[in-house]
C-alpha cells in the first residue's frame, strides 16, 4: 500500500480513500433505505464510522476503490430509476404516503378479519343448510311411513 501523505492535511492516501468510501457508503446506504420507504433512514453514527474505518485500515486500496465503484454504481442505478419513474409520472412515496402505508396495513388487517368472519358465517350457513336438508329428508320419510300406515289402516278397515 502506498503511504503517500498530503502535506496540507497530513492525511495518507489510504485514509483519504477510506474516508471517501465511508462517505459514499453512508450516502448509498441512506439512498437504499430511503428508496425502500419502509424504514427510516438510518444514521451512520460516529462509533460505527470509526469501527468501520479501523476495520478498513487493513484493506488493500484497490479493494477500497472497488467498494467505492460498487457504491457509486448503486447510487447511479437508483438515480436512474428515480429519473425513469419521474419520466413515466410514477409518483414516489413521500413521508405522508409512508404514514398511509400504516393505514393501509391496518385496513388490510381489518378486511382480512372481516373476510375470516364471512368465511366462518358461510360455513355455519352450510352446516345449517345441511341440517335443514336432513330434517326435510326425515320428514319426507316420515310422510312415506305415515302414508303406508294409512294405506294399511284403510285396507284393514275395508275388510
Cα–Cα distance between 85 and 93 in angstroms, integer?
11
Give, for all 159 residues of the chain, the pLDDT tens digit. 445 565 555 567 777 777 777 777 766 555 444 444 333 334 556 777 778 878 888 878 777 777 787 877 788 888 888 777 777 766 555 666 666 777 888 888 998 999 999 999 999 999 999 999 999 999 999 999 999 999 999 888 887
Cα–Cα distance between 150 and 147 in angstroms, integer?
5
Give me the residue label for grid cell 345441511.
Answer: 130
3-state secondary structure 32-64: HHHHHCCCCCCCCCHHHHHHHHHHHCCCCHHHH
Inter-residue contact 78 to 30 (CB < 8 Å): no
Outline where the chain has alpha helix (H): 13-36, 46-56, 61-87, 95-158
Amino acid at each position: 500500500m502506498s503511504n503517500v501523505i498530503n502535506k496540507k492535511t497530513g492525511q495518507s492516501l489510504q485514509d483519504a480513500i477510506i474516508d471517501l468510501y465511508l462517505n459514499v457508503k453512508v450516502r448509498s446506504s441512506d439512498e437504499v433505505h430511503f428508496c425502500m420507504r419502509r424504514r427510516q433512514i438510518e444514521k451512520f453514527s460516529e462509533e460505527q464510522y470509526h469501527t468501520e474505518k479501523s476495520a478498513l485500515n487493513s484493506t488493500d486500496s484497490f479493494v477500497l476503490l472497488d467498494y467505492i465503484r460498487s457504491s457509486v454504481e448503486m447510487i447511479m442505478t437508483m438515480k436512474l430509476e428515480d429519473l425513469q419513474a419521474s419520466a413515466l409520472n410514477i409518483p414516489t412515496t413521500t413521508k405522508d404516503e409512508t404514514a398511509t402505508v400504516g393505514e393501509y396495513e391496518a385496513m388490510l388487517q381489518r378486511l382480512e378479519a372481516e373476510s375470516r368472519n364471512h368465511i366462518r358465517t358461510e360455513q355455519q350457513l352450510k352446516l345449517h343448510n345441511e341440517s335443514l336438508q336432513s330434517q326435510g329428508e326425515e320428514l319426507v320419510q316420515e310422510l312415506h311411513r305415515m302414508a303406508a300406515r294409512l294405506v294399511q289402516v284403510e285396507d284393514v278397515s275395508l275388510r
